[in-house]
Chains A and B, each alone.
Chain A
Amino acid sequence: MTKVLMSGNEAIARGAWEAGVRVGCGYPGTPSTEILEALARYPEVECEWSTNEKVALEVAVGAAIAGGRAIATMKHVGLNVAADPLFSVAYMGVNAGLVIVSADDPGMHSSQNEQDNRLLARAARVALLEPATPQECKEFALAAFEISERYDTPVLLRTTTRISHGKGLVTLGERRDIPRRPYRKNVQKNVVLPAHGRVRHQLIETQRIPALEREAERWAQVFEGSDDLALITSGAAFLYAREAFPHATILKLGMTHPLPRELIKSFAQGKKRIVVIEELEPYLAEQVRALGIAIEEIHLPRFGELSVGLVRQAVERRAPSARDGATPPPVTLPPLPPRPPILCAGCMHRGVFYVLKQLDAIVSGDIGCYTLGALAPLDAMDTCMNMGASLAMAHGMAKIFSAEEKKRLVAVIGDSTFYHSGVPALIDILYNGGQTVTIILDNHTTAMTGHQEHPGTGRTIKGEPAPVIELESLAKGLGIKHVQRVDPYDLLAAWRTVDAALHRQEPSVIIADAPCVLKEKRRFGEIVSVDHTKCTECFACTELGCPAIEIRDGHIEINKLLCIACTHCQQVCADCNAGIDIPQVLELVHQKRYADAFKVLIRANPFPAVAGRVCPHPCDHEVNALGWPQEKLYAQRYPDLTEEFPTPGHPAKLSVRDVERFLGDYGIENFSGAEFKPPQERPERIAIIGSGPAGLSAAFYLRRRGFRVTVLEAFERPGGMMRYGIPAFRLPKEIVDREIDRLLMMGVEIQCNVTVGRDISFSELQREHDAVVIAVGDSAPQELELEGTSDIREGLLYGVDFLRRVNRGQEVRVGRRVAVIGGGNTAIDCARSAKRLGAEVTVYYRRTVAEMPAIREEIDEAILEGIRFEFQASPIRVTVQDGRVVGLDLIRMQPGPLDRDGRRRPVPVPNSEFSVETDTVILAIGERADLEFLRGTGVQFAHKIRTAFTGAASQSGVFACGDVAFGYGTVTQSIATGRRVASTVTVYLQRKGAHR
C-alpha cells in the first residue's frame, strides 16, 4: 500500500476518485479550492469551475439524479449561495451518490465570516461528516458516496482550514468501478411541488434521520484513557483535544448530523467529568446537553480558531494569561509593525484604487484580492459584503444618496466575481433605471484563490480551450451604452474615464483590463530608482501602498527585488515639495473646474497662495525623481495652460507654481474655510507648539479629521517664517492672513504670545492634551565665531532677527554698505531687504553660485536689483572702531574634500586674505532650534528633535514636524511634514482610543 503526503483537500479528491465519482464542480474559494484542482487531474472525472456555487451544486444534483456519482466543492460562504438547491435536494434525495464539501474558515484566514456550517447540515436535514486528518478526509469522502446512496441523502462533508490545508500521510487505494445507476423519471421525488415536498419531509424525519443516527454510531471512535476526564469532540477540535490531553478518554465523532444519541448516552455513563471540545458554535454541546447529560461548562471562545493552548486552558480552567505547565512564559516583545496582506508590487488594482482615491469616490467593493484596496493608504473602499454584492448595493445607495454623493459612487468588482453573481445585478440596474458606474477589475484570472480559470479566460479547469464569455460584449449585449476598456497602468487615462462616467446620468461599465502580475510574472521595463538629488521626500508615492516603495532611514527607496517597473509611482511623482497631486490639479484646471482643483490642492497644501509665491518649484525638473518626464508631459497635454501660465524665460514650459498661485488666490476668494470644517467632532485635544507652515499644516489636517486643535505661538501673530521670515515684497502678509483665516474658520484655536517653557510648561501641555506636536522651527540664529565680534555695539545683525524686525515694521537701521554672510534664502532675503532700506549690499558666500541653497529666481532677482555677490569668500574677522563695525576681513575659499552629504567642503586658499569696508554685517549662515523647554522632559533632542520619519518623537504622544525635526528649510516641505505628522498623530490617537 502506497502512502503519500497529501493535504486534506487532495485527500478528499482522492477519496472521491476512489469512490468512482464521475462529475466534480465547484467555485474557487479558500480553503476549498485545491479539492477540485486535484480532482480535475484525474482523467476519469469530468470537472468544471462553475460560474458560482449554486450552479455548481445544481450541476452536481443533475449528474447524481442522472445516475453518476457527483461532488460539489465550495467554501463555507459558498454554501450560502448554494443553500437554495441544498435545502431542496435534501428533500428530493439522490439517485447516485451526491457529496457537497463545505470548507469552513474559523479564524477567517481568508473569508468575510466564520459561520459554522454544521448548523446548515442540521437545518437542511442532510448527513454531515467531519474528518480530522488527511487519511480521514480520503476515507470519509469515499464512504460519503455510499452513505448518500444507501440513505438517499446528500452528504455534507465539512472541513476547516486546518483540515483542508494540513498535510499528512494518506494510504492510497484503487478507483472502484461503480456502474452508472439507471435514470428513472420520478416526479414525486424530483419535482418539488408542495404536495410532493410534504410527503418527502415526513419521510426524512421518520425514516432518513433515524436510520442515519444508527449509521453515525459506526463513525464514532472512542480513545480509551483515564477516567478523570472524558472529552466529546470532532474534526479539528479533536486534534487539539488529543494533543492537549493525550491521556483523557475521548469520544471522537465522525458523523455529526444526526448525532449518535444512544452511543453518546452510553459513553457518558459513569464518567465523572465530561467536557465538549468544539470550534465556533456550541453545536455538539447544546445537543449533548439536551440528552440530559451533565457536561461541564467551559469557556471556549465562540469565535476564532481553537489551539492546543486554548483547549488546555479552558479545560484546566485557567485564565488565558496564566502560566501553563506545558507553555513556557512568553518573552515580552518590543512593539512590532504589523504586516497585513497587501496588493502585490505592480498590481493593476492599485492603479484603479489610486484613481478612485483621487476622485474621492464612494466605493461599493466586492470579494477578491482587490478587497485589499480598502486598507490604508489607498482607503478606497466603503463597503464589501459578499460575492457579487457591489453592484446591487451601489444601486441601493443611489436610491438614497444626494446628487452630490451619487456623483462619487462606483461599484468595483473582479472579473470572476462579476461572472459569479454580478451579472444579475447589472441587469437589475439597467432594468430599474439605475445609473451606477461599474468598474470590472479584469485581471484575466481568479487571482485570490490561486489563478483559477473562469468563463473569461478561454480555458477550462482541465486546461482545455473554451469559449470566452467576453465582458465587453456581455455588457453591451445587455444594453449598457457606455462600455469602455481602460489600461489601469495609465493613471490619467483611467482618471478621465472614471471621472467622465461619474458625471454621466446613465449606467456605465468600465473594464480595467490587465493581467494579474503574480500570474504572468510581468516586468514592464527598467526597474525604477530614486534620484535623491531630486526627491523632495513628500512621500506622495507612498500613497500607492506599493510594497516595493520602502522608507529606509527616512528616505524613499525602491526595493529592486519587488519592483516590476509598472510605472505607477513614476506617474504619481510630481517632484512637489508639498506632495500635491499635480497631474490631477492640472487636469481639473484644464477643464476649468477650479473649485475641484482647489479641493485637490488643499488635500496636500493648506497654503497654496503662499506656496504659489515662495516655493522653489522642483516640479519643473525635466525628469522627476523617479525618472518620468512629467514636466514635458504637462506641456504636451495642456498647451492651453502652458500659454496661460508660461515659465518666465521658457514659454514652452508650464509654470506649475503659477497655476498653484492662481488656484490659491481663487481659494482665498471662494472658500472661507467653513467648507473644510470636520463632518464630525472628536474629543481628543492636540496642542501644537509653533504656528509656522509645519505647525499650521498639522493643525489644518488634524482639525479636518475632527480633533480639537490648539496652536501656541510665542510671537504676537501666527505664521512663523511665512510672516516673520519671508519679506513682504515676496509674500504679501495679507495672503498669509487670508490663508490662516481659513484655519480659524475651521475651528483651529491659535493662542499668540504664549511661550512654552515660560508661560506654560511642556509637561503641563502634555497633561492637558492627548498629543503634543512640536513645530517651533529653527528660529534662533546660528552663531558664527568671528574675531572681533565681542565688543560690537552697532553694525552686527543676525539674519532672522533682522528679517523679523523688518517684517514687524519695526525701525531697522543699516549702514550705507552692508555685507551679508551666507547663501541660503535668509541671506538673499536679508540682502534684498537691506537694499530696500537704501544700502549697497554685497553677499559673501563660501561656495560657488551653483552650490547656493537659495531659490534660483531669488538670486536672479537680487542680481537684477543690483546686489553684488562674492563667491568662495569666507569672513575671518570684523574690524571694529569705537564699538562700530567699519570693515570685514575675508579669505578666498576653494573646494576641498567630499563632505558626508556628498558636497565638497570649502577650504581656505592660503595667503588669500582680503579686506572690505562695510558699516553693517548681517550674519545669515543658518538657523537653529531653541529647545531649552524640552530639557528634563525625556523628549530626546540634539540640534533637532529626534523623530522617526513619521514625526513620532522618542516619547509616546509627542511628535514633531518642520525644520525642528526634519530641517528641509522650505515652507512647502515643512507643510508636507506637517501633513505627515497629522497622519501619524491620527493613527496614534485611533489606536489609543481603540485600547480604551
Chain B
Amino acid sequence: MSSDTVTNIVLVGVGGQGSVLAGQIIARVATLAGLAVATSEVHGMAQRGGSVLSTVRYGKEVLSPAVPEGAADVLLAFEKLEALRYLNYLKVDGLALVNDQRIVPSVESLKLAPYPDDNTIEETLRRRTEHVLIVPGLEIAQQLGNPALANTVMLGVLSTLLDLPHAEWRQAITELVPPQTLELNLLAFAEGALWAKKAASLSY
C-alpha cells in the first residue's frame, strides 16, 4: 500500500473537456500493462461546466481510488485555473502538466476574484514543483482541426513521461474513443508525444 509502488495521477479540468475519458484511457493502459488500477471520477451535476477532478492510481497493489493531498505524482490539468485550484494535490516536486488553455469562468465568478494572469499561475505552480510543463495542447488540437482533441494531445505528452508501455497507449485509445474520431485521436496523441520529445531535447 505504500505510495512508493503506486503512481498517483490527478486529472483536473472543466466539465466537458474530456478529463474523465482521459483518466479512463490511462487506467486502461495500466490494466493492459498488468497493473492493479483504481480510479474515481464525478458524474451528474458537477459535470455541467463545473470544476472537475478525477484520479487514477496504478501499481502492484491499489485499493483506494482516492489520492490524498500532497500525494499526486502527476497533476494533469486540462485548464490553467483548475491547475492552480488543485495544486496542493501534487506532491512536492511532482509533475505539473498543464494544457495552455484558459476557460474564463462565469461573470458571476469573476465578481469574486479575477482570473489570475499567466505569470501568477506559473509562479504559483513553481512554488510546489520545478517540474512545470505548460503544453500548447489546445493550439496543437486546433491545428488538427478540432479543439476537443486537446485532452488526447495531453495524453501524448504524458505518455512520454510515465513508465507505461507505448503500444498499450494506442490500444487503449482505440478501445475507448468513439470509432469515428479514432484516427484524429491517434494523430493528436502522436503530436503530443512529438511535442514532448522536442521540448525535452530543447531543455537538456
Contacts and interface: CB of A to CB of B under 8 A. Distances in A.
Contacts of B49: 339, 341-344, 547
A337 B113 contact: yes
A465 interface: no
Contact of A109 (B37, B42, B81): B42
B65 interface: yes
B142 to A, nearest CB: 9
Contacts of A344: 16, 48-49
Contacts of B14: 339
Interface of B: 1-2, 14-16, 24, 27-28, 31, 36-51, 62-66, 68-71, 81-82, 84-85, 87-88, 91-92, 104-116, 120, 124, 127-128, 147
A186 B64 CA distance: 46
Given A5-B37, A983-B111, A369 B48 contact: yes
Contacts of B120: 334
A5 B35 CA distance: 11
A166 B109 contact: no
A842 to B, nearest CB: 46
Contact of B106 (A371, A448, A545, A950): A545
Interface stretch (A141-149, A372-380, A597-605, A883-891): A372-380
A337 B81 contact: yes
A765 interface: no
Interface stretch (A322-330, A676-684, A753-761): A322-330
Given A30-B45, A342-B106, A991-B112, A328 B63 contact: no
A386 interface: no
A309 B71 CA distance: 11
A368 to B, nearest CB: 9
Interface size class of A (residues with CB under 8 A): 35 or more
A328 B127 CA distance: 12
A786 interface: no
Nearest to A984: B111
Contacts of A43: none
A167 B116 contact: no
A250 B100 CA distance: 45
- Name the residue among B2, B88, B107 with the largest chain A CB count within 10 angstroms: B107
A950 B68 contact: no
Nearest to B14: A339
Contacts of A337: 81, 105, 109-110, 112-115
Given A110-B46, A169-B37, A328-B92, A551 B81 contact: no
Given A333-B87, A335-B113, A308 B66 contact: yes
Of B31, B38, B108, B109, chain A has the most CB atoms within 10 Å of the CB of: B108
Contacts of B43: 30-31, 33-34, 109-110, 165, 449-450
A545 B92 CA distance: 38
A34 B49 CA distance: 21
A377 B108 contact: yes
A375 B108 contact: yes
A949 B115 CA distance: 12
Interface in A560-579: 561
Nearest to B117: A334
26 contacts: A5-B27, A30-B43, A110-B44, A165-B40, A167-B65, A243-B63, A326-B70, A331-B127, A331-B128, A336-B85, A337-B105, A339-B49, A341-B15, A341-B46, A341-B49, A341-B50, A342-B49, A343-B48, A372-B48, A376-B108, A449-B43, A551-B104, A551-B110, A948-B114, A987-B108, A987-B112
A341 B124 contact: no
Contacts of B39: 5, 166-168
Interface string A243-266: 100100000000000000000000
B174 to A, nearest CB: 15
In this complex, the member of B82, B84, B108, B111 whose beta carbon has the largest number of chain A beta carbons within 10 angstroms is: B111
